[in-house]
Each structure stands twice: as structure tokens, then as C-alpha cells.
Amino acid sequence: MPMVIAIDGPAASGKGTLARRLADHYGLPHLDTGLLYRAVALTLIDAGASLDDEQAAAQAAASLIADRLADPRLRERAMGEAASRISGIPAVRAALLAWQQRFAGTPQGAVLDGRDIGTVICPEARVKLFITASAGERARRRHRELTGRGESVTLAAILADIEARDARDASRSTAPLKAAADAVVLDTTELDADEAFAAARAVVDRAR
Ligand code: C5P
């Protein structure tokens, strides 16, 4: 069985950094699935289409190409918001499901991080981690990251974004954010990146 590691959690929980480090450590390809939703949103924005245009969004998801995932604009704060808005559209999720399952289905295995990897995309994953941290701590981390990249934004604005996104991601009817019943929950509020990595590695090593 290929080694698939599914990592889920709310915005700015540290799951992305952790997923990248695990992928490096175990020599597996990594997919940040948030980028897929961000890329669909960016396609709509670039086309001048509304984020509420379900048909355009479904079309953008169905024709998404990997090259789009390298666009630096995907990392901007506004794109996280836009991605969250289109991510509730079932046809978008259906189109991206196939994309993600192709990525995870190779013989070598993969690390995927997102919101519904352990529950919907890879329910058979060998390892499932659910990474969380308090909203305040996640806001501080995201604020550091964005201001480090030169975006000018207040901590209060980030906290408001994070709380709104948590509520939207957890309450949507299609694939809401929640830990799979068989996921190991890792709360990183009190952990630095190295400590979180060590804890995650211990979980993976137990499953190998
Ligand atoms: O993880 P990231 O912040 O890049 O995700 C942006 C948005 O995309 C999330 O708020 C969520 O609404 C959506 N998303 C999702 N399912 C995933 C990954 C991201 O719904 N697997």
C-alpha cells in the first residue's frame, strides 16, 4: 500500500509547514490542496467573473492546470478569502476531488494537506493528522507570515478573517472541516515548528 499521509486542519494551523517537512523527510511528493481552491478563485478573478458564478467556478476547477499553482498571487490574503467562498460549491469540490485523488494515487504515495483529506479525498490514508491551534495563536502566525512578505495588515483583521473562515469551512454542507474519526489530533498552540514536526514524525513512524 502506498504511503499516503493526510493532514487536515483550520487556516494557519501550521499544517502546511508540517506537510512540507514530512514530505521532505519521507521523500514523498506534497500537495497543498488549498492552492487548488485559491487557483480556481484566481481564475475567476482574472476572468472578471463573480465568485458566486457556480458554473464558471466549476468550469475553472475542471480545467485547472498544475502550472497555475505556482502563481505567487495565490498566497495573498485576499485569495484565501476568495478560495473559502468558492470552496462550498459542490461541483468545484467534485472536480478537485479527482485531481487530488490522482495525485495521491501513485505507487510512491504522497502527503496532502487541506480540510477534507482524511475524511473525503483519502479516507484510506495510512496516516491521518488533524492539526489545530487556538485562533489567537493562528492569527499571530499568519500575521508574521504576511507582514514578512510585505503585506500591510493588522493582527485584528487577520483574527477576524480566521474566525470567519473557520465558521464557513466548518459549517458548509459539502465536506466540512472536521477531524476524521481515525485521525490523530495534534494541538500546536504550545509547540514550535520543530516540536510539532517531531510529534508528527512519531505518529507516522508508528504507522509505517
Ligand atoms: O489552506 P488554505 O488557507 O490555502 O485554503 C484556502 C481555503 O480553501 C480554505 O479556507 C477552504 O475554504 C478551502 N479549502 C477546502 N478544502 C481543502 C483545502 C482548502 O475547502 N482541502
Whole-model pTM over 0.90: yes
* pLDDT range class, residue 208, cuts 50, 70, 90: confident
Strands 4-8 and 127-132 turn out to be parallel
How many other C-beta atoms can be found within 10 angstroms of the C-beta atom of residue 140? 16
**Would you say 15 is a known binding-site residue?**
yes
Ligand 1 pocket: which of 18, 32, 33 to mutate (most atoms <8 Å of CB)?
33
State the chain's mean pLDDT as an integer: 95
pLDDT band at 1 (very low <50, low <70, confident <90, very high): confident
User: DSSP character for 87?
Assistant: T
In this predicted structure, what is the pLDDT of residue 60? 97
| Mean pLDDT of the 56-84 span | 94
Domain boundaries, the chain: 4-207
**pLDDT tens digits, one per residue of 154-186:** 999 999 999 999 999 889 898 888 899 999 999
- Give pLDDT tens digits for 92-130: 999 999 999 999 999 999 999 999 999 999 999 999 999
Atom of ligand 1 nearest to the CA of 117: 21
Q: Is 17 among the annotated ligand-binding positions?
A: yes
Alpha helix segments (H runs only) across the chain? 15-26, 34-46, 54-62, 77-86, 90-104, 135-148, 155-171, 193-207
| Superfamily of segment(s) 4-207 | P-loop containing nucleotide triphosphate hydrolases (3.40.50.300)
| Higher pLDDT, residue 176 or 18 | 18
The Cα–Cα gap between 156 and 136 comes to: 10
Which pLDDT value is given to residue 176?
A: 87
CA dihedral 72, 28, 40, 15 (to 10 degrees): -80
CB 112 within 8 A of CB 19: yes
Of the candidates 41, 62, 6, the one whose C-alpha atom is nearest the C-alpha of residue 203 is 6
On the question of pLDDT at 62 being above 80, the answer is: yes
Query: Which residues have C-beta atoms less than 6 Å from ligand 1?
Result: 11, 33-34, 37-38, 80, 83-84, 87, 114-116, 165, 169
Give the pLDDT confidence score for residue 175 in this predicted structure. 86
pLDDT at residue 37 tops 90: yes
Residue whose cell numbers read 474519526? 181
Q: Is the ipTM of this complex over 0.90?
A: yes
Residue 24 has pLDDT above 80, yes or no: yes
